[in-house]
Structure 1
Amino acid sequence: MMSVRVLVPLAHGCEELEAVTVIDLLRRAGAEVVVAGLESGTVRASRGVQLVPDTELDRVVEETFDLIVLPGGLGGAERLEGDARIARMLQAQNERGGWIAAICAAPRVLAEVGVLQGRRATAFPTQLERHGIEPEDSAVVIDDNLITSRGPGTAMDFALRLIEVVYGDEKAAEVEGALQRPLSHQRY
């Protein structure tokens, strides 16, 4: 199995359900997931859950990742949006055609740094309209190297689609099967 490096930057106010679901499922698939805090120390998520990053963003800002995933949560997305390091990393990732993913409020970060121009996307309602982007009404939208999703309720579908794009259908089905999701659940 190929080695896949994933960056999940965490900021205070991030949506814990989205962050933890993405980190957990990608690790189950075998990805090397680097969880990097924008600042040092524990990250206080939107519902008060304390998350402990693996490292600080400054320590990995010059590294290359196969996939960068931005969890949502309005407070977290606003902090990601205002971080010049995140902007540079996303622009470089997009220029080389690397995978970029964002869920909930985080697609606004992609719009702010210019990687959503002329692209299809979805997000939590009202997060893209100020950038003149009409979000699609889908749980997950993939447009070339960009993957976006709507919110906490779509976090598992989002994470499984991330696995699918980097590892393939078979690995995504394997991870999903081990989760014991009801067979009646309609994927994506």
Structure 2
Amino acid sequence: MASVTLNGLNVAILVTDGFEQVEMTEPRNALDASGAETQLVSPKDGQVKAWKFTEWGDTFPVDMPLDSARPENFDALLLPGGVINPDKLRTLPDAVAFVKAFFDAGKPVASICHGPWTIIEAGAARGRRLTSWPSLKTDLKNAGAEWVDQQVGVDQGLATSRQPDDIPAFNPEVLNLFASARRQLRQTAAE
């Protein structure tokens, strides 16, 4: 993973209370170590509280409130899972619109566990091959996606993974996917 350089890449991490802690912290650490600038974006002001497998986890400062966040100021999006977090986000029109804007602009998105619930709500699952926590299989199929049971899948600018145990396979794929966005930015700047 250390060979991927993401200097200058701005990544939004959309969460609210109840995101699975390791599904945010581990990918974020990998992104930060590769030089990306990550920001926690949330509909909540101040702090968000993580879920840690079977109980509440740590709190994290919100870097940018959702109502101030502009998708055009970010190059990529990370959607951690947990059950509570994406279930709340998919009911918030501003959160759904934020996610949809990344897909509409062709920017890369990474999602793990229950995170694809928000992708379904944004209308971006149709025609994509992806994975998730197994209980989302029917939801994703009903939304027009091809669901696969594997550690990580990458299709049409979307990297997905099933669960925390898959993070060692997920992180390198996310870095590689987001590196493609960095290359695009450099090309555009050179033109």
TM-score (norm 1): 0.82
- How far did 1:30 drift? 0.1
Corresponding residue to 2:163 among 124, 145, 151: 151
Q: How many residues align?
A: 168
Q: Secondary structure of 2:134's partner?
A: coil
Aligned to 2:124: 115
What's the CA shift for 1:118?
1.4
2:19 to 5, 9, 14: 14
Question: Which sections of structure 1, spanning at least 5 residues, go unmatched?
Answer: 169-188
Shift of 1:134: 4.8
1:74 aligns with 2:83: yes
**SS in structure 2 opposite 1:127?**
helix
| Match status 1:140 vs 2:140 | no
User: In structure 2, do the counterparts of structure 1 residues 128 and 114 end up closer, same or farther at CA, with 3 Å as the change threshold?
Assistant: farther
Over the aligned positions, Cα root-mean-square deviation in angstroms equals 1.7
Question: Aligned with 2:167: secondary structure?
Answer: helix
Indicate the residue corresponding to 1:92 in structure 2. Answer: 101
Amino acid paired to 2:166 = T
- Asked whether the equivalents of residues 157 and 177 of structure 2 are also in contact (C-alpha less than 8 Å), the reply is no
Q: Is the 8 Å Cα contact of residues 77 and 106 (structure 1) preserved in structure 2? A: yes
Give the Cα separation in 1 of the matches to 2:10 and 2:81.
20
Aligned-partner Cα distance in 2 for 1:86–1:130 = 19
Matched, 1:36 2:41: yes
Sequence identity (%): 27
- In structure 2, relative to structure 1, the CA distance for the partners of 1:128 and 1:108 (3 Å cut) is farther
**1:60 maps to 2:69:** yes
Which runs of structure 1 show a deviation greater than 2 angstroms over 4 or more consecutive aligned residues?
A: 61-64
Q: Distance in 2 between matches of 1:61 and 1:167?
A: 21
